[in-house]
Amino acid sequence: MTASNTILTDDFGRKHNYLRISLLEKCNLRCTYCMPADGIALSPKADLMTADEIFAIAQTFVENGVDKIRLTGGEPLLRKDFPEIVSKLSDLNVSLSITTNGILIDRHIEVLKQFKVKKINLSLDTLISSKFHSITLRNQFEKVIDNLHLLLNNDFQVKINVVLIKGFNDNEIIDFVKLTRFLPISVRFIEFMPFAGNEWDRSKMVSQNEILSQVGNVFPSEEIEKLEDEKNFTARTYKIKDFQGDFGIISSITNPFCDSCNRIRLTANGKIKNCLFSNAETDLLTAYRKGESITSLISESIQNKKKVRAGMVTISEMDDPAKHFDNRSMIAIGG
């Protein structure tokens, strides 16, 4: 079976070569859009994938066409066996990357270097220390900024993930864009998305058009360059002329990119989700522990993938909490 004719190709011809693996459901921040105020019921430790299980399940995906793996969480660097996990996955023929809040980067930077994890997505929703505390409930702003510079000084490719929430950080859009003048980073503005417990409503969302309008009010149109989007892009990317970095917009709500989706998610307790917005899950870990083949389960999940956002085609459908209230919270899915 070739990568062009694989269990990872869905009914719409989309080839899923990008696996995002959540390592755990815990985090050392409590961002309100990610974790409900009362927290979540954590999976028992025995129900989480071990390092060996993560490798074995990932290997099955790689054998069927996956060539990119991103480690997420919760906060993936909280796993005590993180070095072992990265070491094992580095033996696969894949591009390895990680999404992190940045707090523990300094402790793990040598491991990341050793196993060539050069692409880092760092979550940072504000450039103001007091606002950082208000959304994360932790005083770690300076640590995150220091570790951002540590990554850049060590030649890592850094993307800054900014979840925009109206009335909270939408007045910092231009500040983040200006950050790309002197830093070789890619800022990615992410539309606020609905998940269990995050009290989403459309009024809190900052759309792609609103972001571009703000940028256009500050920078002349001839200085705003539209860059060529990557294959299977999530972010539509732009650059201010002569700036070192660039910025992109991930508009899952107002301008989705489902036609080119190549991603599948594996939760920390071994279940795959074929779409971020779907409440449907397929349990691979139980089957694996029973010694059963998991390829048919993977295939079934991929074939059940909807064309657009788990079947929510319009924004009005997303306004209906019944469509997504029983999905996991973001912290339990993986970023």
Alpha carbon distances (Å) from 93 to 59, 132, 244: 9, 38, 31
Provide CB contacts within 8 A for 289, sequence distance 6+: 53
Name which of 268, 262, 261, 282 is nearest 333 in CA terms: 268
Q: pLDDT digits over 255-264, tens only?
A: 777 888 999 9
Contact assessment for residue 205 and residue 178, using Cβ atoms and an 8 Å cutoff: no
Q: What are phi and psi of 219, to 5 degrees?
A: -110, 135
State the DSSP H helix or E strand holding residue 197, giving kind and residue range, or none if neither.
none
Quick check: helix, strand or coil at residue 61?
Answer: helix
Provide CB contacts within 8 A for 134, sequence distance 6+: none
- Helix locations, the chain, DSSP H: 51-63, 82-89, 105-114, 129-136, 141-153, 173-179, 208-218, 285-289, 295-303, 315-318, 330-333
Q: pLDDT digits over 202-258, tens only?
A: 778 899 999 999 999 999 999 999 999 888 888 999 999 999 999 999 987 777 778
List % helix, strand, coil for the chain (3-state, nearest 5).
35, 20, 50
Residue given tokens 């969302």 in the structure block? 205
pLDDT at 158: 98
Residue given tokens 């919760």 in the structure block? 74
Question: Which of 11-15, 32-36, 139-143 is predicted least confidently?
Answer: 32-36
pLDDT at 192: 80
β-pairing, 236-240 vs 224-226, is antiparallel
Please give the angle made by the CA atoms of 289, 18 and 183, to the nearest 5 degrees. 130
Q: pLDDT digits over 71-97, tens only?
A: 998 899 999 999 999 999 999 999 999
pLDDT at 1: 41
Give the DSSP letter string of 272-311: EESSTT----EE-HHHHHTT---HHHHHHHHHT--SSGGG
Say if residue 310's pLDDT is above 50.
Answer: yes
Query: Bridge partners of 239?
Result: 225
User: What integer is the mean pLDDT of 287-311?
Assistant: 92
Question: Which of 218-227, 266-275, 314-323 is predicted least confidently?
Answer: 314-323
Distance CA 80, CA 274 (A): 28
> In the chain, pLDDT over 70 holds for what percent of residues?
85
What pTM value is reported for the model?
Answer: 0.91
Quote the mean pLDDT of the chain: 89
Whether the ω angle into residue 74 lies within 30 degrees of 0, i.e. cis, is yes
Contact assessment for residue 247 and residue 218, using Cβ atoms and an 8 Å cutoff: no
More confident residue, 39 or 98: 98
Say if residue 128's pLDDT is above 50.
Answer: yes
Contact assessment for residue 96 and residue 115, using Cβ atoms and an 8 Å cutoff: yes
Radius of gyration of the chain from its Cα atoms, rounded to whole angstroms = 19
> In the chain, pLDDT over 90 holds for what percent of residues?
70
Structure tokens at 86: 């990265």
Please give the angle made by the CA atoms of 149, 27 and 186, to the nearest 5 degrees. 35
Q: pLDDT digits over 43-65, tens only?
A: 899 999 999 999 999 999 999 99
Q: Which residues of 105-119 are buried (b: 16+ CB within 10 A; e: fewer)?
A: beebbeebeebebbb
